[in-house]
Homo-oligomer: A and B are copies of this chain.
Amino acid sequence: MSRPAALPTDLEIASAATLRPIADVATDLGIAPEHVEPYGRDVAKIDLAAAAAAPRGKYVVVSAITPTPLGEGKTTVVVGLSQALRRLGTNAVATLRQPSMGPTFGIKGGAAGGGYSQVVPMERLNLHLTGDFHAITAAHNLLAAAVDNHLHFGNELGLDVRNITWRRVMDVNDRSLRNVVVGLGARADGLVRETGFDITAASEVMVLMTLATSYQDLRARLGRIVVGYKGVGKPVSAEDLGVAGAMAVILKDALKPNLLQTLEGGPALIHCGPFGNIATGTSSVVADQVALSHAEVVVTEAGFGADMGAERFFNVKCRLGGLQPDAVVLVATVRALKVHSGNYDIRAGRALPQELFAENPEEVRAGLANLRKHLEIIQAFGVSPVVAINAFPQDHDSEHAVIAELAAELGVRCAVSRHVAEGGAGAEDLAREVLAAAEEPTRFTTTYALEDTLAEKIEAIATKVYGADGVDYSPDAAKALQTYEDAGFGDLPVVIAKTHLSISSDPALMGAPSGWRLPVREVRANVGAGYVYAIAGDMRTMPGLSRHPNAERIELAPDGTVSGLS
């Protein structure tokens, strides 16, 4: 992310921070000490009993216009906005996903916010934190072991060995594990078959944890996980294999959200980290339940642009979790709007073209169709949007003005936010607009009814949210939809896995594409987590390391000091 030349690095800022005792942070939020379990000095787990009170807080979700491959700073807005709200005397809390550890050793940055809007301690946030991802890995792989154990001992349930959908997971970037053959060796070493590994963030258990509302609900959802199918197309579940209870026990502590703090000492609940393409891309329902039980305002994030993140935040997370949204912050940047003019080719890992930083309000205006479309998407859900202009040092006032003009024209609140360079103080204007928007009456409505068919739901998202002319299914996808309807999964909500770099399914189409159809290549079901997902594009669920990964720059000094994490 671009930043003022004078600004220290994220790690320098985070390392220089003086952290408050985490018990004090919990107390300020209003959580009773008996619900706070310390995990090290600067992190605590919050007991689910802390969510027993009736929710009282306003629920604000931070979304964005269609991002460039670099991201437009949603996480920094969540942190900066929560900091600003607390400066204004509001008991606010940020709720965010936990970053995946695997990519820490690949390429990455900014998982904990950035600049003066970060969550700390950064070292623990980027590594094991309290071990929740490890617990998810262990529960997932116990089920995988049970599947192969069942095959080894004679396959009493009649699983079709060529239609086993449950893979294994590991929180590491390891391309060699994408496709593997297991069970080689002697008879005692299991049955030979092809399978593979995904990164833990892509585990169905990860998103299941995100959507579970209680221990009872967790246990029930785990039991419903489908691991594969019988010869005749009937699903076989974790319950059938008898290990859902053990999985729940492995996950017991992991279901408790983790309390950390912002650089300004306010509370941040960090919990779960499901993928934003094949899953919800949000933090957990239970973390938000805990937060809403205590805070006046809860600021959370939905992955990618509003077409993807906000859509499933409303249609899946809020609906399944019984949560009522009060406002949406839509993050826009000058640079991304310029890219939506269609005049730039931006790629991750490459330097941004210098022309992007020249004063050019007309190019911003040329990209406004994207912002307009995302605002329409949000308004269709009946929730008030606020445009947050995430200011970068290379921006020009004339460019911000173009964005503000559109907001004024549409009657939408808007503010410039300088939280990366200035912390909460830089987001106070935004905070005031968000407080006002959250006070407005909300007529929250979803895009489809759960009673609609799966095909109707997919079509509703494609046409009503994305603006597609319709949906085209591959023969396999059409067949899978029918199979899922027959298997009784037809009343689940849906998630559409497509590129996040366009509102359409073609990453090259900028702005607000029209005259296109959504091509669905494949449909899969996360029955335990509780949704069906349609795949429109290539979805990679196990990253690889680069030729010289970040791991090569990470070091531990003899005194225990860590360097090279970012």
List residues of A whose CB falls within 8 A of some B CB.
Answer: 37-41, 45, 48, 101, 105, 127-128, 130-131, 134-135, 137-138, 141-142, 144-146, 148-149, 152-153, 170-185, 188-191, 194, 214-216, 218-219, 242-243, 245-246, 248-250, 252-253, 544-545, 547-549, 551-552, 554-560, 562, 564-565
Contacts and interface: CB of A to CB of B under 8 A. Distances in A.
B40 A171 contact: no
A131 B565 CA distance: 20
Main secondary structure of the interface of A (DSSP, over half): mixed
A58 B174 CA distance: 46
As for how many copies of this chain the complex holds, the number is 2
B38 A40 contact: yes
Given A146-B551, A242-B552, A127 B250 contact: yes
A407 to B, nearest CB: 43
Contact of A182 (B180, B214, B559): B180
Given A37-B40, A215-B558, A565-B249, A182 B171 contact: no
Given A184-B194, A185-B178, A547-B153, A552 B101 contact: no
Contacts of A242: 548, 551-552
29 contacts: A39-B39, A40-B45, A40-B253, A101-B138, A128-B135, A128-B253, A131-B131, A131-B134, A138-B171, A144-B174, A149-B544, A149-B545, A149-B549, A152-B175, A153-B547, A175-B183, A176-B190, A178-B190, A181-B181, A181-B184, A215-B557, A215-B559, A216-B558, A242-B551, A242-B552, A243-B552, A245-B555, A246-B552, A252-B562
Given A127-B250, A245-B555, 15 more contacts: A38-B40, A39-B39, A40-B253, A105-B243, A131-B131, A142-B551, A145-B172, A176-B182, A178-B184, A178-B185, A178-B189, A178-B190, A180-B180, A181-B184, A245-B554
Given A185-B179, A246-B554, A172 B141 contact: yes
A252 B173 CA distance: 20
Contacts of A184: 178-181, 194
A244 B182 CA distance: 28
Contact of A560 (B173, B215, B556): B215
A558 B214 contact: yes
A558 B131 CA distance: 22
A544 B243 contact: no
B173 A145 contact: yes
A289 to B, nearest CB: 15
A109 to B, nearest CB: 16
A248 B556 contact: yes
Nearest to A174: B145
Contacts of A249: 127, 554-556, 562, 564-565
A168 to B, nearest CB: 8
Nearest to A129: B131
A141 B127 contact: no
Contacts of A148: 174-176
Contacts of A250: 127-128
A557 B214 CA distance: 11
Contact of A152 (B39, B176, B552): B176
B176 A105 contact: no
A73 to B, nearest CB: 27
A456 B242 CA distance: 52
B556 A245 contact: yes
Contacts of A174: 141, 144-145, 148-149
A529 to B, nearest CB: 18
A190 B252 CA distance: 36
A227 to B, nearest CB: 14
B176 A545 contact: no
Identify which of A180, A185, A218, A252 gathers the most chain B CB atoms within 10 Å of its CB.
A180
B556 A145 contact: no
Contacts of A545: 145-146, 149
A152 B219 CA distance: 41
B183 A181 contact: no
A191 B176 contact: yes
Contacts of A171: 138
Given A170-B141, A181-B180, A556 B215 contact: yes
